[in-house]
Amino acid sequence: MDLTALPTQLSEHTEPNNAMPAADSSSEAQEPALDSSKAITINPNTIILAQALTDTAISWRIHNCKISKKTITQDMPLLFLYHYDSLDDSIKQAYPLTPVLLAQFNTPMTAAAAAKLIGIADDLLVSPWHVKIVGSLVIFSEALQLAVRLHWTNTGKSTQQIYTQSAKEAVTAAFKDWQFFGRIDVLYKNGKQTLVSIDEASDDDEQLITIDTSADYQYLPATHALAVIAKLEADKAELPWFETAILERIE
C-alpha cells in the first residue's frame, strides 16, 4: 500500500510486527463459521474482513493511533448515592441515612457539597477521578493493500469514575477494560482479491457485502461494524499490538 495515500504519517508510538509472516489468503482461516441454514459459498481467494483483522499470520501494522477526546478530572458532579457509598462503613454507621439524605440520592453534586449535606469534614469524602478517553487508530497490511480505521475508548458511559490517588493511576485503571466501538472505515486497493464483510445476524440480502476497491475510505454499514467489533473483542487477547499502541498513546 502506498503510505503517502494515507491521511497522515506513521505514528512514532507504533512499530511493525516484524515477527509475523506475510498474509496467507488461501487458508482455511478465511472460511467463516456460518449457520448451515445461511450457508454462503465464497471463493477461497476472497478476503473476509473480520477474519483477516484477527488473523495473527498477517503482518498488520498500526498507523496513526491518536486521541480525539480526553477527560480526566475530579471536578465533575456525581450522584449523591455514589458519594455516600464510597464512605467507610464506620462513617456510615455514625451518619446513617435519613429521609433528607435519601431524598437527595439521585441529585448530582460535588464531593464537598455531599460532605456538607452529610455533616462530615470534606476530607472524609474522596472525589473520584472521572475518566473518558476516546481515540482512533488505523491498522493496515501492505500485502493485502488494506487499511481499516477503528475507534476505541475506556468506557461507553459519559465518564468512568475511579477512586485512586493520582490521575495517572486512574487512567491506568480505566484502560484495563478498554474497548472498540463505533464506526469502521475501510480503505482497500487490492484489485486481485475480493474483500467482503459477513454479518451472520443480518437478513440474507445484507448478510454478505462486497467492499469495492477505492482511493478513499468507505464507511462500513453499522450492523457489519458491530459484527467486526464483536470478533475483535472476542480475539483481543491474541492481538496485543492494539493494546500496546493504545497504552503508549495515553501515557
CA distance 29 to 157: 35
68 and 188 part of one domain: yes
Q: Measured on CA atoms in the order 125, 72, 239, 209, is the torsion positive or negative? A: positive
161 within 8 A of 184, measured Cβ to Cβ: no
How many CA atoms, within 13 angstroms, populate the side-chain half-sphere of residue 131?
Answer: 24
Residues 43 and 143 in one domain: yes
Q: Cell triple for residue 175?
A: 484502560
Same domain, residue pair 144 and 245: yes
pLDDT score, position 16? 35
Range of the domain at 118: 76-124
Q: Are residues 8 and 46 in the same domain?
A: yes
Q: What is the pLDDT of residues 174-183, one digit of tens each?
A: 999 999 999 9
- In this structure, the answer to whether residues 183 and 95 fall within a common structural domain is no
Residues 29 and 55 in one domain: yes
- Note the pLDDT of residue 91: 95
- The model's confidence at residue 222, banded by pLDDT at 50, 70 and 90, is very high
Please indicate, yes or no, whether residues 141 and 244 belong to a single structural domain of this protein: yes
Say whether both 41 and 20 belong to one domain: yes
Average pLDDT, the chain: 86
Last residue of a domain, one of 93, 124, 155: 124
> Residue 105 has what DSSP assignment?
T
Looking at the structure, tell me whether residues 113 and 150 fall in a common domain: no
Q: Is 205 left (phi over 0), alpha (psi -120 to 50) or beta?
A: alpha
Give strand pairing partners of 132: 71
Q: 234: which 3 cell numbers?
A: 472476542
**Dihedrals phi, psi of 56, to nearest 5 degrees:** -75, -5
The pTM assigned to this predicted structure is 0.78
Q: Which span out of 35-49, 76-90, 199-213 was modeled with the highest average pLDDT?
A: 76-90
pLDDT for position 66: 96
Instruction: Select from 102, 124, 146 the last residue of a domain.
Output: 124
Residue 27 has pLDDT above 50, yes or no: no
Q: Which residues pair with 181 in a beta bridge?
A: 151
Q: Higher confidence at residue 204 or residue 118?
A: 118
CA distance 135 to 250: 9
Residue 219: beta bridge partners?
185
Domains identified in the chain, total number: 2
User: How are strands ordered across the β-sheet holding 195-198?
Assistant: 47-48, 195-198, 208-211
Q: What is the pLDDT of residues 37-66, one digit of tens each?
A: 455 677 889 999 999 999 999 999 999 999
Last residue of one domain, picked from the residues 108, 124, 140: 124
Higher pLDDT, 141 or 26: 141
Q: Are 67 and 174 in the same domain?
A: yes
pLDDT of residue 37: 42
Q: Identify whether residues 192 and 149 lie together within a single domain.
A: yes
One domain, residues 36 and 119: no
